[in-house]
């Protein structure tokens, strides 16, 4: 009787058990990705056809719209056509990154058309996954890819080094990502989707990797953490202003911070000395992913100390296309998608791979990946090409400090991509190297655009800040000219005192962005004769 009851209970419990979905095979996933590509291509063709029809219907009185020359406006002007939003449930495509800039792009560093993000360079599996996450969250594939590249580097850095030589330990595979995106770009949602399996694995770890992720740091705290708590860390900063404008980046600490990050990037030892204590750490690793607002990025890139110390040269720069204003509701559930579940399983396995600790240094002891003969030939050609471009008369000679180091960035990227394909690989294939070069070329172009658009120094940055303030006040107060006295009394902090105001006005005058206006202006009950008009706003005296 008891046996019959137990059998009945077991049958009843099994009836309530969820039915497990069959895990798709790699061939099925590849077929799904191929079908998705065909659907994206069809949508793009229909979209371009619709745009062509709208252009044909444009009246003769409209001005031509050249996206390479016209900066995004604060709001659409009369007669100006803005790109229509994509249909609901439409997959976000790389090609959509080439659409004309929208008002949400105002204030961004890069306003030129960008080439499509080479998402296929991540390999078949991750390509489909990146497009899936981009579609679900409705962000540009570049944002997903950049976050993923930073996270994969953080997972790989305690396990592998990479070298072009036949012997030796090689160099770390740590990568630093500098992602420029304004508020409302769904950075947190993207990070959560990409890093979810890593977070879960770290939370369940019983060793030092539980302290792998660091965010709110000081220089000393970072050094002590790497020496005493976790030998391979992932610096993850969601708001760059908290780091780049915080305690770690104050003038008295900036040099130390830059030096430590540079040392870790190059696999040099770090140390901390006090009156009663000295501690040293070898074989430590640090990867950083920093999200920052455009204005903070401009300040960072315009810092002479940052670029001279080399910290700026050790980042991959990303400024994903904004989709704000074109996003439509969709019902994609990542947690039930087989492709995403397979990704979570794969990342969880990578995050749980055991670290080997060196008994002497108490740091990591990674295995070294080397290049196949074909991969080495491909990389050598790329290395030579970048060296020529950085030399006197080369197309990138003005940014030689960054360009001459970039082949190393590509080398590290190739190791990370190979690691994802096979975490136990010891050789990088020519195909992987070719994909790393394509991905690297995209980030190199992104960096060149950011460097070109960023202010050359602090004075130019402050001049831009003052100019934007003058533009806003011209509209807000309906003034045809702004008194100099108003600038140093109520203007931005960077324009104070009056001597600094005059320095910045000299820069703006020399560039023709403002002009002296002889018309008097009333300000705080007093007449002002030292006034300036912003060029191009229609307020210039006749």
d(C-alpha 363, C-alpha 343), whole Å? 29
SS3 at position 420: helix
| Count: domains in the chain | 2
Q: Which H/E stretch holds residue 27?
A: helix 26-56
Its sign, for the CA torsion 326, 329, 332, 334, is positive
Its sign, for the CA torsion 230, 236, 241, 244, is positive
Q: Is residue 382 a part of any domain in this protein?
A: no
Let me know whether 211 and 312 are in one domain.
Answer: yes
Q: Is residue 445 a part of any domain in this protein?
A: no
Q: Is residue 316 a part of any domain in this protein?
A: yes
Q: pTM here?
A: 0.70
Q: Which of 444, 418, 441 is nearest to 429 (CA)?
A: 418
Q: Which of 492, 399, 521, 519 is nearest to 450 (CA)?
A: 399
d(C-alpha 411, C-alpha 161), whole Å? 10
d(C-alpha 221, C-alpha 207), whole Å? 20
Q: From first to last of its 542 residues, what are the pLDDT tens digits of the chain?
A: 454 554 554 445 444 444 444 555 555 655 665 665 566 556 556 655 655 565 555 444 444 333 333 333 333 444 444 444 444 444 444 444 443 333 333 344 444 567 999 999 999 999 999 999 999 999 999 999 999 999 999 999 999 999 999 999 999 999 999 999 988 899 999 999 999 999 999 999 999 999 999 988 888 889 999 999 999 999 999 887 777 665 445 666 667 777 788 889 999 999 887 777 788 899 999 999 999 988 788 777 877 677 666 668 889 999 999 898 888 888 899 999 999 999 999 999 999 999 999 999 999 999 999 999 999 999 999 999 999 999 998 999 988 889 999 999 999 999 999 999 999 999 999 999 999 999 999 999 999 988 877 666 678 778 888 998 999 888 888 888 999 989 988 888 888 888 999 999 999 999 889 999 889 988 888 888 899 999 988 776 66
Assigned token pair, 266: 């190059």
Q: Is residue 427 a part of any domain in this protein?
A: no
> At 514, which CATH number?
1.10.10
Let me know whether 152 and 301 are in one domain.
Answer: yes
Let me know whether 219 and 319 are in one domain.
Answer: yes
d(C-alpha 382, C-alpha 386), whole Å? 6
SS percent in the chain: helix, strand, coil, step 5: 50, 10, 35
Q: Is residue 62 a part of any domain in this protein?
A: no
Q: Which of 515, 487, 418 is nearest to 160 (CA)?
A: 418
Let me know whether 361 and 499 are in one domain.
Answer: no
Q: Which of 439, 456, 461, 311 is nearest to 398 (CA)?
A: 456
Burial status of residue 104 (CB atoms within 10 A of its CB: 0-12, 13-18, 19 or more): middle
Rg (CA), the chain: 27
d(C-alpha 503, C-alpha 492), whole Å? 14
Let me know whether 336 and 476 are in one domain.
Answer: no
- The residue from 339, 369, 399 where one domain ends is 369
Q: Which H/E stretch holds residue 462?
A: helix 458-476
Buried residues in 187-202 as b, exposed as e (16+ CB within 10 A): beebbebbbbbbeebb
d(C-alpha 104, C-alpha 502), whole Å? 32
Range of the domain at 301: 95-99+126-369
d(C-alpha 173, C-alpha 265), whole Å? 9
- The residue from 315, 350, 369 where one domain ends is 369
Q: Is residue 430 a part of any domain in this protein?
A: no
Beta-carbon contacts of residue 46 (< 8 Å; ≥ 6 apart)? none
Q: Is residue 139 a part of any domain in this protein?
A: yes
Let me know whether 176 and 305 are in one domain.
Answer: yes
Q: Is residue 344 a part of any domain in this protein?
A: yes
Its sign, for the CA torsion 198, 204, 210, 214, is positive
Contact 432, 418 (CB under 8 A): yes
- The residue from 348, 369, 390 where one domain ends is 369
């Amino acid at each position: 009787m008891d046996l019959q009851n137990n059998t009945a209970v077991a049958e009843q419990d099994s009836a309530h058990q969820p039915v497990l979905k069959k895990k798709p095979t790699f061939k099925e996933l590849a077929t799904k990705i191929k079908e998705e590509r065909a659907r994206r291509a069809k949508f793009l063709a229909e979209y371009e056809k619709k745009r062509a029809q709208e252009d044909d219907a444009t009246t003769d009185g409209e001005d031509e719209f050249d996206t390479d020359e016209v900066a995004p406006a604060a709001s659409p002007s009369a007669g100006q056509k803005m790109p229509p939003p994509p249909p609901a449930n439409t997959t976000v495509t790389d090609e959509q990154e080439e659409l004309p800039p929208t008002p949400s792009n105002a204030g961004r560093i890069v306003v030129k058309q960008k080439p499509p993000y080479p998402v296929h360079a991540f390999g078949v599996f991750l390509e489909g996954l990146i497009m899936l996450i981009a579609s679900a969250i409705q962000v540009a594939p570049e944002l997903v890819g950049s976050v993923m590249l930073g996270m994969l580097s953080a997972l790989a850095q305690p396990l592998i080094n990479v070298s072009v030589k036949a012997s030796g330990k090689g160099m770390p595979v740590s990568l630093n990502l500098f992602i420029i995106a304004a508020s409302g770009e769904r950075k947190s949602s993207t990070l959560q989707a990409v890093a979810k399996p890593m977070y879960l694995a770290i939370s369940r770890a019983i060793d030092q990797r539980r302290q792998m992720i660091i965010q709110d740091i000081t220089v000393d705290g970072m050094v002590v953490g790497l020496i005493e708590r976790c030998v391979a860390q992932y610096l993850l900063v969601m708001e760059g202003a908290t780091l780049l404008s915080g305690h770690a980046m104050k003038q008295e600490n900036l040099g130390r911070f830059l030096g430590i990050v540079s040392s870790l990037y190059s696999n040099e030892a770090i140390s901390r000395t006090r009156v009663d204590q000295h501690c040293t750490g070898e074989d430590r690793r640090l990867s950083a992913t920093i999200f920052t607002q455009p204005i903070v990025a401009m300040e960072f890139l315009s810092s002479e100390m940052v670029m001279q110390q080399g910290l700026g040269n050790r980042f991959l720069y990303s400024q994903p296309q904004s989709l704000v204003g074109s996003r439509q509701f969709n019902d994609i559930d990542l947690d039930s998608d087989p492709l995403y579940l397979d990704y979570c399983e794969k990342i969880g396995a990578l995050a749980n791979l055991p670290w080997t600790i060196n008994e002497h240094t108490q740091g990591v002891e990674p295995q070294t990946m080397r290049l196949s003969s074909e991969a080495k030939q491909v990389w050598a050609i790329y290395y030579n090409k970048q060296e020529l471009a950085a030399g006197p008369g080369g197309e990138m000679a003005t940014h030689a400090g960054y360009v001459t180091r970039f082949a190393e960035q590509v080398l590290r990227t190739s190791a990370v991509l190979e690691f994802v394909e096979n975490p136990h690989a010891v050789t990088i294939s020519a195909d992987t190297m070719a994909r790393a070069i394509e991905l690297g070329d995209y980030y190199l172009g992104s960096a060149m655009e950011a460097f070109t658009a960023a202010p050359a120094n602090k004075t130019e940055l402050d001049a831009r800040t003052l100019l934007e303030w003058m533009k806003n006040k011209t509209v807000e107060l309906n003034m045809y000219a702004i008194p100099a006295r108003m600038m140093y009394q109520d203007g931005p902090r960077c324009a104070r005192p009056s001597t600094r105001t005059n320095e910045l006005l000299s820069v703006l005058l020399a560039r023709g962005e403002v002009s002296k206006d002889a018309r008097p202006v009333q300000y705080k009950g007093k007449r002002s004769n030292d006034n300036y008009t912003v060029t191009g706003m229609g307020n210039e005296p006749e």
